[in-house]
Each structure stands twice: as structure tokens, then as C-alpha cells.
Structure 1
Amino acid sequence: MAQSRRIERVAALIRREASELLLRKIRDERVHQGIMSITEVEVAGDLQHCKIFVSVFGTEEERQQTLLGLQSAAVFIRGELGRRLKLRRAPEIIFRLDRGIEKGSAVLNLLNEIEQKRIKHKIQEDDDMQFSSFT
């Protein structure tokens, strides 16, 4: 149990420091093309590997360019994390696109469409009932 709390703390620290690094230290234009945020950090039990999930708001091309920029900055970020967090060995970093927000937005759009069709259908039924009461 204590080790899992340590892993969670390290993941939270990595998220905070990586966000700071991406905001202030990374100058690669590819990273700053779209609006990007770190959504989750998963750290392996042995603290040797780390997956950083990012959400990028923009076109598919901007997402891919941002991911390429992040991958090229991974070595720099790993070194900085090792220094800032004072870890014996900084974890290898892998960046992954998180499409959760994108999928959630698509589901909300579908629900809105269904609601609009339901309202339209209800209005049409009400109009039909009113028309039939006059005849």
C-alpha cells in the first residue's frame, strides 16, 4: 500500500513538473500549435517507465505534430524531471494522445442531436393533434 501511494505521489509530481516544463522550457513550435494539456500520468511500479497522456485541441495534423514535438522533447524532459524530483533514475517518458475529451464531446453532440430530434418530433405530434381536433 505504501508503494502505491509513492507511485501516485511521483505521478502527481511528474504531471506538475512536466506541465511547467512544457509551458516554460520547451520552445518547439510543434508542441505549441494546438491547445494542449496533460490529462493523466501513469508510472510503472518500478518507476522506470512513465506514460504521459496529453489532450490536444486542434486538427488531426496539429495533434500529430504536437505528439512528434513532445516525443522529440522527451529526453530533455526526462533529464529535467530527474534533476527537479531528485530521483536516482528518471523514468523513460512516453507521450500518448488522450482522446477521451474528444470522444466525450462526440457523445455530447450525439445526445444533443437526439434531443433536438425528439423535440422536433414532439412539436410535430402536437401540431398533428391540434389539426385533427379542428377537423
Structure 2
Amino acid sequence: MADPARAARLAQRIKVVVAEALRKQVKEPGVENITLTEVRVTNDLQHATVYYTIFGDAAAKQEATESLERSRGILRREVGRNLTIRLVPTLEFVSDEIPETASQLEELIRQTKERDAALAAAAAGATFAGDADPYKSAADEDDEDDEA
């Protein structure tokens, strides 16, 4: 069992190798829009999960995903050539949904800030419906009159 630090270093190296292979070796349509975001390697160094994003419409995403699946063998061969490890890890490609989720969260935060600003503007000129201290009793009013 390898240590997690070695797995992290290997993951970074696999990310670089796969990105270079996508750019230079793979001649499939649609791979030019692929951005690798992260690679995770299991501690036994047998499996690597490659997370990627694709910018474009649904058709471009589908085409790029199919191209990645077809070129999995080429990419694994390039990883094996460029790494000095006994066993080459299997590659699994997973679409990374973080950018879409982040943009949705940013939109929700923007809407919340707009609502907060509208509420603050409405509250700026507001006054209390009754006295400033609604819990003032009649005995307190008599004390104030006596002091004056």
C-alpha cells in the first residue's frame, strides 16, 4: 500500500500526461474542448479517476465524452510510457459538474444580495408602528412626569 503523498504526486503527473496526450496524440473530434480539472489515484495506485469539464452545448459535451471513451486505451498507453511504475493504473473519466454548480450558487448569491438591498432600502425610512418602547408601562410615564 502506497502512502497518500505518493498517490497525490502520481495523480498530478497523470493529469499532465493525459492533458499532453489529449493535445498531441488523440485525433478524435471534440477533445479540444476538454479541460482536466483533477485526477485522483487510489492509495494502491491501481485506479485513476480523471475529472474533466467540457465547455459548449450538449452536443459538444456528448461528442467529447464519446471521444474520451474511445481514446481511453491510447491515454493509458501514454500514461504507462511516461510513468516509472510497475503497474499502469486504469483510467476512469468522470464529468466534473463543479463549474455548473458554482455558477448556480453565484446566481443564487446575487439574487439574495439584491433582495437584501431591497429590504434594507425599504427599512431605511421605516418607523415603529407605536411608541419606540412598546413595553413602557403607565407607572414609568408617571415617573417621567414627576422628574420633569
Q: Which structure carries more helix by proportion?
A: 1
State the match for 1:6 in structure 2.
Answer: 6
State the match for 2:63 in structure 1.
Answer: 65
Matched residue of 1:86: which SS?
coil
Q: Is the 8 A contact 2:11 2:39 kept in 1?
A: yes
State the match for 2:145 in structure 1.
Answer: none
State the match for 1:16 in structure 2.
Answer: 16
Q: Let me know the Cα RMSD of the aligned residues.
A: 2.2
Unaligned runs of 5+ in 2: 128-148
Identity of aligned residues (%): 26
- Rounded to whole Å, the distance in 2 between the matches of 1:2 and 1:72 is 30
- Rounded to whole Å, the distance in 2 between the matches of 1:115 and 1:23 is 42
- Rounded to whole Å, the distance in 2 between the matches of 1:60 and 1:117 is 33
Match of 2:99 among 101, 107, 128: 101
State the match for 2:131 in structure 1.
Answer: none
Q: Select the structure of larger CA radius of gyration.
A: 2
- Rounded to whole Å, the distance in 2 between the matches of 1:4 and 1:125 is 54
Superposed displacement of residue 123, structure 1: 3.8
1:74 maps onto 2:61 in alignment: no
- Rounded to whole Å, the distance in 1 between the matches of 2:66 and 2:125 is 56
Superposed displacement of residue 57, structure 1: 2.0
Superposed displacement of residue 92, structure 1: 1.1
- Rounded to whole Å, the distance in 1 between the matches of 2:57 and 2:116 is 31
Residues 117-126 or 106-115, more deviating: 117-126
Q: Is the 8 A contact 1:67 1:96 kept in 2?
A: no
Superposed displacement of residue 39, structure 1: 1.2
- Rounded to whole Å, the distance in 2 between the matches of 1:122 and 1:3 is 53
- Rounded to whole Å, the distance in 1 between the matches of 2:3 and 2:119 is 56
Question: Could you report, residue by residue, the CA deviation over 1:32-80 in whole angstroms, capped at 9, with x for unpaired residues?
Answer: 2xx4321111112222211100022222332222111111111000001
Q: Structure 1 residues 112, 75: CA separation in 2 closer, same or farther (over 3 Å shift)?
A: same
Query: What code does the residue aligned with 2:15 have?
Result: R
Give me the TM-score of the superposition, normalised by structure 2: 0.74
Structure 1 segments, 4+ long, off by >6 Å, are none
- Rounded to whole Å, the distance in 2 between the matches of 1:92 and 1:2 is 16
State the match for 1:43 in structure 2.
Answer: 41
Give me the TM-score of the superposition, normalised by structure 1: 0.80
